[in-house]
Every structure is written in C-alpha cells, then in structure tokens.
Amino acid sequence: MSPTPPRRALNRQVLADHVHEELMASLIDGRLEAGANLSIDGIARDLEVSPTPVREALARLEHTGMVRRVALKGYKVAPLFTAVELAQLVDARLVIEPVNAELACASITPALVAELKQTIEDLRSSPTGASYAEFRDYWKADEDFHRIIAEHAGNPFILNAYKTLGGQVQRFRFFAGLGVTDADTAIQEHTAILDAFSAGDPAGARDAMIAHLNGVKQRSIRDSVEHP
C-alpha cells in the first residue's frame, strides 16, 4: 500500500512565496521596467493564481523600495535612481559594509576565507557581456562576496539592513545597463579585501572595503554620466 510516499509535502508551498520570488527576479533583471504599473489582477492572470497571494507578495516587496504603493491606486515599479540617489546608495553601503568587513575579519575562519576566495574565482570565470543572461553569474559572484561578509559580521540587525540595501544594489546595477565595465578593477579590490582577511587584519579589511566602495561609487557615477 501507500503507492506514493508522502511526496505531497514537497509540492505543498505557499503561492505568495512563489509570486514573491517571481516578482523579485523580474524586478532585478529588468523585465519589469521602472514606473510600470503592477496591476494586482494582471499579475494574478499572468501567473495563473488568484489576486490574494499577489497582494501578499507585493506587500512584502514594498519595504525593499523596489515597489511603491499608493493606497487605492495600486503598486508601481519604483522609478530609476537619479545620479544623486545612486551615490547615496553607495554612501549607505559605506556606512554599513566597512563595519561588516571589520567584524567578519575579527572572527575569521579558514572556511570563510575559502568561501570568499571562491566568489573571486567565480568573478574571474564569469562572462561579462552586456545582456542580463550573460553577466548574471558575474553579479551573483559579486553579490555573494558582499553578502557572505555581511552574514559573518555576527549582527543580525546589521545584516538585515544590508540585505535591504542589497536588493536595491542589484536593481540599480541592472539599470545602469552597461553590463560589467570594471571587472578587472573589481576583482583587484575584492582580492585586496580578501588579503586583509587572510592576514587577520580587521582594520585593513575595513579600509580595503572603503576603498572598494569608493571605487564602485566613482565608477558608477562615471558610467551614469557617460550613459544618461
């Protein structure tokens, strides 16, 4: 008897989670353009679910800043960043991430070093083309590097703050729309941070992170000026 073992537990998942992931992916990779209306009923039709889980997914998405809600009017994809906001986003990272680096480095483990080293390897081996499909691996490796450091800082509140920024970062990067323009420099800067980790030098890790983010900031501004 019991021809099929309890497979059902695997199938059983909450639709709102699925919708949330789907929307998040669409926002990050640009399938949903800035300013686009996010019709609840429309999304429900597209994904073949009812509006209820869509409402829940959108409510969760609101705090990320990627989606804006106006009561009784609906949701829209947040507008593109201006050059000022873009710089502010990096400034916010400059507040949080150097501390992350310092803390994570202070409790360094060989496993962490190995993880970070792997992300830099991935960065090197990933293509850097101009379309999302091409540089998605590059981005993932870059995001992994920063996220792993944040996760090892040991402060869940700071981690939460970083994660909120993280989504923004990814979205911004897509809309910069240039593909990867600074792979060599970024790899170099990540390596400098990793070296400080390997040496067990928290202050050095902090400074290397500051230098990296300042580099990101300047290159971002430069790119956004050259390609308005």
What the block records as the tokens of 33 is 């353009």
What the block records as the tokens of 184 is 């060599």
Q: Which is nearer to DNA, 21 or 91 (CB)?
A: 21
Q: Report the candidate in 27, 89, 34 with the shortest Cα–Cα distance to residue 57.
A: 27
Site string for a second copy, 53-82 (x = CB under 8 A): --xxx-xx-xx-x-----xx----------
Q: Which is nearer to a second copy, 41 or 91 (CB)?
A: 91
Residues 6+ apart with CB under 8 A from 131: 179
Q: Least Å distance between CB 130 and a second copy? A: 27
Options 115-123, 162-170, 192-200, 208-216: segment touching a second copy (CB under 8 A): 162-170
Q: Report the candidate in 147, 194, 154, 167 with the shortest Cα–Cα distance to residue 60.
A: 167
What the block records as the tokens of 48 is 């073949």
Q: Least Å distance between CB 6 and a second copy? A: 14
Q: Least Å distance between CB 132 and a second copy? A: 24
The answer to whether residue 39 forms part of the interface with a second copy (CB under 8 A) is: no
Check: CB of residue 43 under 8 Å from CB of residue 33. Answer: no
Give the separation between CA 176 and CA 174, rounded to whole angstroms: 5
Options 23-31, 124-132, 159-167, 176-184: segment touching a second copy (CB under 8 A): 159-167
Binding site for DNA (CB under 7 A): 8, 12-16, 37-42, 44, 48-53, 55-56, 71-75
